[in-house]
A and B are shown apart, each in its own frame.
Chain A
Amino acid sequence: MTKKGKLALYWAASCGGCEIAVLGIDDKILKVAEAFDIVFWPCVMDGKVRSIEKMEDKSIDLCLFNGAIRTSEQEYMARLLRQKSKVLVAFGSCAHEGCIPGLGNVASREEIFQTAYHDTPSTDNPEGIRPQPETEVDEGILYLPIFYDTVKTLDQCVEVEYYLPGCPPEPERIWDAIVAILEGKLPAPGSVIGAETTVCDECPRKREEKRIKEFKRTWEIIPDPEICLLEQGLVCCGIATRAGCGALCPTVGSPCIGCYGPNEGVEDFGARMMTALASVIDSEDPEEIDRIIREGIPDPIGTFYRFSLAASQLRRTALTTGGEDQAAASA
């Protein structure tokens, strides 16, 4: 590169694990700093929102955006960085498909506020105080970002060029993606940057025929170290999950929980998992099938949409209170 490209990294509703994963590329981070002018990375570097607002549109070459969109402030940052960036990457599971924060979509804002600000045992709130988006006090008006009813993925707010999956993305895959970007060897816009196979293809465990009489909870068995976990009755999501992690979880005896998202060509992770599990249940009797599913999978949403609820075709449970994206709380 004759002229250095400009790079921005940002985080919205996330845990910080994506930032740690970026630092996990070790001393290669210094190569990133050689290849790019890092214009914005609030976790690690100084640089304020105001300076981004002043930049010309499309003047940032690459923006790696992690975290889901839960509040009006995050949506503002997503729109701002979209406007200023040539290439916007939904980085990590939260930006890609909502991840664990997206499980908040099983509840409404009202239910969440009730739990967090009232019901939790250490909260002392006899007057039922709730946060307000605007509050008048003697000195002026206090503002808070508006808290949405529904967690959104990045591409539900703005157009996204690429996706980098994983909770968090493995540092090796991050480096692969950076190399691909620097060398201009990118797939078509709208693609996931990553493997096209599944975790099963990376898993060292032996696979034979899958016929399951009951699903086991993880504490009910000590799995055989050599054999496919699904064949042993554990709900392992490797079959529906994109490769890229090196099958870390099944390798250490834990079932895959699907953090890399659906594999290529799969629209809805949960639907794919349900189809896969339905085909391995060893019964023809509807009542027995019902029992196997009910007893073995007590939390279907958490099992099938642990990382992808916000991006799924369902997106959330039905809202019984409040309206979508109305001014927060109060009511």
Chain B
Amino acid sequence: MAIESKETKRIDVHHITRVEGHGNIVVDVQEGVLKQCDLQIVEAPRFFEAMLRGQPYEQASPLSSRICGICAVTHATTSLRATEKALGVEPSEQTTLLRKLNLHGEMLDSHILHIYMLVAPDLLGAGSVIPLARKSPEVVMRALRMKKVAGDLCAVICGRHTHPIAMAVGGFNHFPTSEELSKLLERLEAMRTDLDATVDLFQNLQMPDFERETEYIALSKEDEYSFLDGVITSSDGGSWPVEQYRQVANEHMVVHSTAKHTRHQRPSYMVGALARFKLNYEQLQPKARIAAETLGLDPLSTNPYMNTIAQLVETVHCTEEAILIVTQLLERGIKQEEPVSPVRSSGEGVGACEAPRGTLYHHYVIDDGLITDANCIIPTAQNLANIEADMRALVSQRIHCPPDEITFALEMLVRAYDPCISCSTHILNVRFVL
């Protein structure tokens, strides 16, 4: 896809590596003026919305988990919440606790993967995690150790690490034993040492200097740092029940792109760890707030590169929350509950969760037990317009730097958003300047 160019400066990266999916960057600078700066997504659209039509409702969760193998638990859970709301199912307190714990496991797994395997090589001057393993084996071994705890947590709660199998509409098909939970608790507590070492490591690493204020959107609750349910909240003010997601996530088509772009009041907004951190700072576990302070992240930050640091703060938070939930489950004792049955077989519902990369919505219409309409709004699709706005601001600031430096800064910027391009079923956005 490279194009010969007589222009002063042209950067064409095919593909951006160390992101989940396929994306290209095109920058075109002519005589010192930025003409074009785009993030092209060439990922295959798979169009799950069309596929879900006609499926029995109990299949929506296992099918839609295949939207993404990295945030499969969040997709499966959000799907269940949409179905439950459509069919009038109110899950038990135990189900909610197990689901939150499961989401924490996936958040840890995904964040650790991103922080260590995809971002750390940039900051530690290694091309990728494989040379990093030769250079600093203890760093990579620590990452793999923590990742294993997170993956095993998911396997204990939902039966398998990637693509959950024990979750159902209204509850669970399978429950962890108290031995499994006790073992998990020990391992989560032991993980604090590795987390401290991670905070120490990142405390001494310098993120690129770049600020651009934008609108930040996340789910919020009064009494907890919200991952499961909540109300949609904006840094520009205002909050909406998840049923009104269309007030916020307005998808629109543009002529040159198969990407559906999303906007609220401004041309773009940001979702993900930094948005959650900014909006829900007060609800963070105390240890996570201390980590934020150590890492130099405060709720006023508008540097998108700090999204990775916000992920690290959330990693501390989720570990502490997971410890609290496991302790609570052990105290309560696990009950072999039957899933709550639907009270009707037709209805409409919206589920929303915070996926590792931001707010995820599933919206289903169910008629006589079969899905007749489905809509999924994916975090990376919501971030796409904001990533491009950041890229343009960044290139404008650094327009006199050598192309290699700009390329590196841009790839790092895209990576900081941890874009899950495989998730965003239909963001294809290609603009070429000839």
- Residues on A facing B (Cβ under 8 Å): 11-21, 23-24, 26-27, 29-30, 33, 38, 42-50, 67-68, 70-71, 73-74, 99-101, 103-104, 106-107, 111-112, 115-117, 119-125, 127, 129, 131, 135, 137, 139-145, 147, 167-168, 217-219, 222, 248-249, 251-254, 257, 259, 298-299, 302, 306
**Among the listed A11, A20, A44, which residue makes an inter-chain contact with B18, where contact means beta carbons less than 8 Å apart?**
A44
Q: In the complex the two chains form, is B15's CB within 8 Å of A124's CB?
A: no
Given contacts A24-B162, A27-B144, A116-B426, contact A45 B173 (CB under 8 A): no
Q: In the complex the two chains form, is B249's CB within 8 Å of A122's CB?
A: yes
**Among the listed B117, B127, B148, B428, which residue makes an inter-chain contact with A144, where contact means beta carbons less than 8 Å apart?**
B428
- Taken together as a complex, chains A and B put the C-alpha atoms of A104 and B428 apart, in Å, by 18
Q: In the complex the two chains form, is A48's CB within 8 Å of B14's CB?
A: yes
Q: Which of B169-192 contact A (CB under 8 A)?
A: 169-170, 173-174
**Among the listed A14, A103, A168, which residue makes an inter-chain contact with B163, where contact means beta carbons less than 8 Å apart?**
A168
- Spot the interface stretch: B209-217, B256-264, B389-397: B256-264
Q: In the complex the two chains form, is B253's CB within 8 Å of A125's CB?
A: yes
Q: In the complex the two chains form, is A46's CB within 8 Å of B127's CB?
A: yes
Q: Which residues of A contact B256 (CB under 8 A)?
A: 135, 137, 142
- Taken together as a complex, chains A and B put the C-alpha atoms of A129 and B253 apart, in Å, by 7
Q: In the complex the two chains form, is B72's CB within 8 Å of A17's CB?
A: yes
Q: Which residues of A contact B249 (CB under 8 A)?
A: 122
- Taken together as a complex, chains A and B put the C-alpha atoms of A127 and B14 apart, in Å, by 32
Closest Cβ of chain B: how far from A243's Cβ, in Å? 16
Q: Which residues of B contact A101 (CB under 8 A)?
A: 44, 46, 66
Q: In the complex the two chains form, is A167's CB within 8 Å of B163's CB?
A: yes
- Taken together as a complex, chains A and B put the C-alpha atoms of A70 and B140 apart, in Å, by 35
Given contacts A139-B434, A140-B433, A249-B165, contact A104 B1 (CB under 8 A): no
A-B contact pairs, 28 of them (CB 8 A): A17-B68, A17-B162, A17-B163, A19-B69, A20-B69, A24-B162, A26-B148, A29-B144, A45-B18, A45-B127, A45-B128, A45-B129, A46-B127, A73-B42, A100-B48, A103-B51, A115-B50, A124-B251, A140-B433, A142-B256, A142-B430, A142-B431, A144-B42, A217-B56, A252-B165, A253-B166, A253-B174, A254-B174
Q: Which residues of B contact A103 (CB under 8 A)?
A: 51, 63
Q: Which of B393-429 contact A (CB under 8 A)?
A: 420, 422-423, 425-426, 428
Closest Cβ of chain B: how far from A102's Cβ, in Å? 10
Closest Cβ of chain B: how far from A22's Cβ, in Å? 11
Q: Which residues of B contact A122 (CB under 8 A)?
A: 245-246, 249-251, 363, 375, 377
- Taken together as a complex, chains A and B put the C-alpha atoms of A218 and B57 apart, in Å, by 10
Q: In the complex the two chains form, is B46's CB within 8 Å of A143's CB?
A: no
B45 at the interface (CB under 8 A from A): yes
Given contacts A74-B44, A248-B160, contact A124 B20 (CB under 8 A): no
- B3's closest neighbor in chain A, by CB? A140
Q: In the complex the two chains form, is A70's CB within 8 Å of B377's CB?
A: no
Q: In the complex the two chains form, is A15's CB within 8 Å of B68's CB?
A: yes
Q: In the complex the two chains form, is A139's CB within 8 Å of B433's CB?
A: yes
